[in-house]
A and B are shown apart, each in its own frame.
Chain A
Amino acid sequence: MTPVYFIFLPLIFALFVPLLFKKLPQLHTGWFVLAAPVILAIYYASFIPASMHGETVISSFSWIPSLDIAISSYLDGLSLLFSLLITGIGALVVLYSIFYLDKNREQLHNFYVYLLMFMSAMLGVVQSDHLISLYFFWELTSISSFLLIGYWYTRDRSRFGAMKSMLITVFGGLMMLGGFILLYVMGGTYSIRELIVLAPELAVHDFFLWSLILILLGAFTKSAQFPFYIWLPDAMEAPTPVSAYLHSATMVKAGLYLVARFTPIFAVSSVWVWLVTGIGLLTMTWASFFALRQRDLKGILAFSTVSQLGLIMSLLGVAAVAFHVEDAAGTVFKYASFAAIFHLINHATFKGSLFMVTGIIDHETGTRDIRKLGGLMSVMPISFTLAVIGSLSMAGLPPFNGFLSKEMFFSAMLSLTEFDVFSFDTWGILFPVIAWIGSVFTFIYSFYFVFNTFAGDYKPDLLPKRANEAPIGMLISPAVLAALVVILFFIPNLLAEWFIKPAVIAIQPFLYESPEQVDIHVAAWHGWYSTELYMTLGVYLVGGLMYWQLHKWQKIYNVFSDTYSLNGLYDAMIYFSDAGMNRLSRLYMTGFIRSYLVYMFGFLVLITLGTLAITDAFALDFTGTSPIRAYEVIIGLVLVAGTITILMAKSRLTAIIALGAVGYTVALFFVIFRAPDLALTQLVIETISVALFLLAFYHLPQLSRHEERMPFRIGNALIAAGVGVTMALVAFSAHSQKSIESISEYYKETVYSEAAGGNIVNVILVDYRGFDTLFEITVLGIAAIAIISMIRLRLTRKENPHEK
């Protein structure tokens, strides 16, 4: 079994979930689901030794061979690291959810099917080497995330949040698809590895900048960068295990993955460096500032995630500079990619555990409002310990892993000022300053999160539930993650050997040959004479003082209006597209079928005649036509007479009979022109539709003439004549102009040899164009459902107004 098939393992598990949920109600479905990430994590772990030496595993299977589309798995350091995060944290989250979600009250089968679907999608995103399959999995993460956010779909906020995340991330995904297609146009291949080899040629292409910006849009929307971050706080309506998994550890990191993966292609561009670094830093500082405005624990964590994602994003931007500076100077920038990966791992551990602790608080106290919480330290000592570990790591304090990567972050930002590429020598000083401000706020909100919840006064009368320590099962997962937070502080270099260095190779493939060459040693202590040390001490000092006085200056957040914000803009856009477009459609959706027919036929005439005129396609050529015989003229006259009778009919019965006559006459034409299949079908159809009319006949209203006014009738006559003339012209032209050989000869020759049939019409229906028929009968089925819902359901509601 090649790795590419393992991407689908969670989906296969998902097939069994509804079955198990029904058949084994006494078992929590989560125990079964847990097996999927555990198996996968063990499987992917077996690739670590190979990846440490820079080996990669490629496997693929063809999906749509005619379009050169394949699902391919490319396991190098970067995708292996992500795969392990997805499955490892996935296992912990599933374990946690078993205790978090009540098996009696929750729709577990839905939940776990979505979660497994997400897991497959995410593995697909990080392992795909093929752009189209990457896009396919990318959107699948958006869809499964939409389903998970809207999991409690009876709540308005859940649906609103799900919709928002979907609109924003799918918008970005579509932009990204555009970027991918441009890459394909430029490079002629869908394979990312091959595109990386072609990078120097791509860089001079006209489309290069466009594809860069489009792909960045995809990455920024997914990773909730400014100004697209607004969906992430609303996504917190999802159950907490989902928030811990999707919105901190995995899905939002897909954007980071994308930036890291495409760095070798786009790093040559200064736009890339400026955008990724600049937007990253802006997001980091902006979100860390607004995190302190939040009252909801998950809201704080959401803004904190946005901020941390910005931090990693900016590091990836700095890492791209390494492609532009020579040897000695370059080593500093190599640092940045290392720090980005390092912080990504650290963030997954501490933020995952913090989300789970938030879930515990919510579960045990019934609220997440930080104003009601406080003093939980003595009631929930274990949760408190876990929260402290996570928060202090987030704040960048030793001895937790966040400290190490924060130091490296400062180093990377400081290094920007020292080089004279892309005018960083002048503007570069801004970066460490902004980074420092962001870090101060990060420090404050970390303290705000943990100490406003656990320290201070215990307010039991404000809590909906009596607070208790969480059951042991719920504590396992956050405890494992919190333990990692501490362990990673002491063994960063082992982590580097195993995971970070192989991943760095993927980001900066031109700089290194093998992971051993990445000579970066992580140290907690840089000596007394390092700027980083003083920056860190400054963060502690200023952050501590500001946290101490938080209650005094937190009021400034009240000046920020809700209406004139990005969220307000989003709401206005939704309102406009909803109400504004509704009003627009009401202008032309009159409710009268005749208006719609006028539009349709009007456009038919205009567009067809216009096309005929523009392309000069009209031709009249009567050579090779058969003579018109007398009885054909007679049938034609009957046809015309029948049609006129329909138009003039005063009663519905006359109209129905005339309509039937027209139909049978057309069938007669088919008989004469030797199309027995068509004739047969037409005859039966006519019979049945006449019978249908008769069935409903009694209850149809009398024919009425709505529009007796002359202008209307003249307009209708014009359109009717136009349609007739147009169709006649099209028919004549189609007969007279034959630019390519008719396909009927091919059918005639192959119908017996290929399909072993004698009747071309039927063979075309079921074989040559079987797809058409399949979709046609699907349409028929949908039409039947529509008729049932329109007529029968309306009837039942009329009869039993109190039901449903």
Chain B
Amino acid sequence: MRSNDVIIQTATKAVTFIILLFAIYIFFAGHYTPGGGFVGGLLTAGAIVLLMLAYDIETVNRILPVDYVKMVGVGLLLAIGTAAASIVFNVPFFTHAHDYVQLPLLGETSLHSATLFDLGVYLVVVGVTMIIIRTIGEDA
């Protein structure tokens, strides 16, 4: 299915990147302001869906050759791995660690192991959403 929708395609080129950047911002901001892995993941998926609407599934698959099934697996491993890593440090399962460090350019920043867990959530959400949409879209 080749569509010839110039306006939406041109707009998509710009908007997709804005959405993606916003998704990344929201993902990292989640610990202090609204956002987080779940919403970030959904936004990312939304950006990809927008691409699919503007172009078509085959084109998007070519642009983003991602195996979403593997993505879900990696996300789950990351999430459970973060939770299980606490066992190595002899603290109960799911204990998160955080600390403040000085980073170049960014200055004082707080680092959380919870972010890794959230990254797992992010990956799973993107993966699952895309699996659902692609599977149903390709079937249709």
Contact = CB atoms under 8 A, between A and B. Distances in A.
Interface stretch (A179-187, A319-327, A479-487, A776-784): A776-784
A773 B132 contact: no
B42 A688 contact: yes
Contacts of B127: 781, 784
B101 to A, nearest CB: 13
Interface of B: 26, 30-39, 42-43, 45-46, 49-50, 52-53, 68-69, 72-73, 75-76, 79-80, 83, 94, 96, 98, 110, 112, 114, 117-118, 120-121, 124-125, 127-129, 131-133, 135-140
A696 B140 contact: yes
B62 to A, nearest CB: 18
A759 B31 contact: yes
B122 to A, nearest CB: 10
Contacts of B72: 780-781, 784
Interface stretch (A90-98, A302-310, A593-601, A676-684): A676-684
B79 A777 contact: yes
Contact of B137 (A696, A757, A770, A795): A696
A765 B79 CA distance: 12
Given A688-B45, A755-B114, A763-B31, A774 B80 contact: yes
Contacts of B37: 765-766
B128 A684 contact: no
A78 B131 CA distance: 56
B76 A770 contact: no
B92 to A, nearest CB: 9
Contacts of B83: 770, 774
A762 B32 CA distance: 8
B39 to A, nearest CB: 5
A692 B32 contact: no
Interface in A657-700: 676-677, 680-681, 684-685, 687-688, 691-692, 694-699
A759 B118 CA distance: 14
B46 A762 contact: no
Interface stretch (A28-36, A426-434, A786-794): A786-794
Interface string A691-717: 110111111000000000000000000
B121 A688 contact: no
A761 interface: yes
10 contacts: A687-B46, A691-B133, A698-B140, A759-B33, A762-B31, A765-B38, A781-B128, A784-B132, A785-B69, A788-B69
B87 to A, nearest CB: 12
Contacts of A556: none
A329 B45 CA distance: 82
B34 A695 contact: no
Interface of A: 676-677, 680-681, 684-685, 687-688, 691-692, 694-699, 755-759, 761-763, 765-767, 770-771, 773-774, 777-778, 780-781, 783-785, 787-788, 791-792, 795
A680 to B, nearest CB: 5
A780 B49 CA distance: 18
Given A677-B39, A757-B114, A766-B96, 5 more contacts: A688-B133, A759-B31, A770-B83, A781-B127, A781-B128
Contacts of A696: 136-137, 139-140
Contact of A781 (B33, B43, B112, B124): B124
Contacts of B69: 784-785, 788
B34 A677 contact: yes
A680 B39 contact: yes
A226 B68 CA distance: 54
Given A676-B34, A759-B35, A791 B124 contact: no
Contacts of B43: 684
B31 A758 contact: yes
B126 to A, nearest CB: 11
Nearest to A774: B79
B121 A771 contact: no
B98 A756 contact: yes
5 tightest A-B contacts by CB? A758-B32, A762-B36, A676-B34, A699-B140, A684-B42
Given A677-B39, A695-B133, A761 B34 contact: yes
A788 B132 CA distance: 8
Contacts of A697: 140
Given A766-B114, A767-B114, A759 B30 contact: yes
